[in-house]
Amino acid sequence: MFKILYSWFYLLSLWFVISANAEEAALTKMWELNEGLQAPESAYYDKASGLLFLSQIGEGGGGAQDGDGWISKLSPDGKMLTNKWVTGFDSPKGLRSHDGVLWVADIDKVVSIEIATGKVLARLVVPDATFLNDLAIGADGTIYVSDMLKSRVIAIRDGKASVFLEGPEIEHPNGVFVHDGKLILGGWGAEVADDFSTKIPGRLLSVDLKTKAITRITPEPTGNLDGIESDGGSGFIVTDWRAGTIFHIAEDGATTTLAIYPKGAADHAYFPEKRLLILPQMLENLLTAVELKHAVLPKE
């Protein structure tokens, strides 16, 4: 009996070692930055300028309206160029660019910044907004921003904001991403509590930009979804903020865990050609760049 138990424990410990080594082999840390960071939320690479931008919430927390947030400017290899490049934000989150302008979601407003100069061009207050979070831009320049707590998406065209979509069926979207004529939504989940926990986790959803028809990419609850980026093919790299999980989600909904970090894995940047993930670890005050080597990812 003792020999049987010993053999069982030996095999179990061997399995854990193999699993740990396999997980380590699937990730290679390229660089990490923490100096000067305070609750980094969204990392975004602007191809036109070759710059990496990072929104930082500051000390007040994700819902604070205290003017303590800022946007940082970095090189893609993790060198901080200007930490407080543009200041005066409340709790800046989602970032996207279009025609030389960086757009920022900031609680109840959307801010536009001229990338070449760092000049704030406009601060558009969105009526009745409570928690503007992520931001995406369509091919025609339309800006889509999630108002997470109200479970709606706002569209901004020609400087005017209107409700594009709302209701419980879009599951309090956090992440938004335009892909192939669709608006991809990362649902936070149903019945969001004061501590941002949910009764039911969210799914990855697809919304047709013309018809507004909603399709569940992941048919079952998936997580408290945050960042969404293309995997370079037809699938997506998605973060779960509360669980710290990095997922690969295929277009048919097949979901694979690529990595697990501490709670606070936020809105990432991803370079498909390098399989390079740049992850803001919001509660750790870290920006981490890792190479993903998982076989599920599209090959170059």
Look up the CATH number of the domain holding residue 146. Answer: 2.120.10.30
Residue 16 lies in a domain: no
Task: Judge contact between 258 and 291, C-beta under 8 A.
Answer: no
Predicted confidence at residue 64, as pLDDT, reads 78
Residue 20 lies in a domain: no
Question: Which tokens is 290 given?
Answer: 């890792």
Return the ∠ at Cα 241 (arms to 293 and 136), rounded to 5°: 85
Predicted confidence at residue 236, as pLDDT, reads 98
Return the ∠ at Cα 206 (arms to 174 and 240), rounded to 5°: 35
Residues 233-284: tens digit of each pLDDT: 999 999 999 999 999 999 999 999 999 999 999 999 999 999 999 999 999 9
Portion of the chain with pLDDT greater than 70, in percent: 91
CA pair distance 205, 140, nearest whole angstrom: 21
Residues 160-208: tens digit of each pLDDT: 999 999 999 999 999 999 999 999 999 999 999 988 999 999 999 999 9
CA pair distance 298, 270, nearest whole angstrom: 13
User: Does 3 score more than 50 pLDDT?
Assistant: no
User: Does 152 score more than 50 pLDDT?
Assistant: yes
Task: Judge contact between 273 and 286, C-beta under 8 A.
Answer: no
Residue 117 lies in a domain: yes
Task: Judge contact between 203 and 171, C-beta under 8 A.
Answer: yes
CA pair distance 187, 90, nearest whole angstrom: 23
Residue 123 lies in a domain: yes
CA pair distance 183, 236, nearest whole angstrom: 13
Residue 10 lies in a domain: no
Q: pTM of the predicted model, to two decimals?
A: 0.91
User: Does 67 score more than 80 pLDDT?
Assistant: yes
Query: How far is the CA of 28 from the CAs of 23, 131, 243, in angstroms?
Result: 10, 34, 21
User: Does 23 score more than 60 pLDDT?
Assistant: no
Residue 22 lies in a domain: no
CA pair distance 125, 8, nearest whole angstrom: 62
Q: How many domains does the chain have?
A: 1
Residue 15 lies in a domain: no
- Residue 247 belongs to what domain range? 29-292
Residue 267 lies in a domain: yes
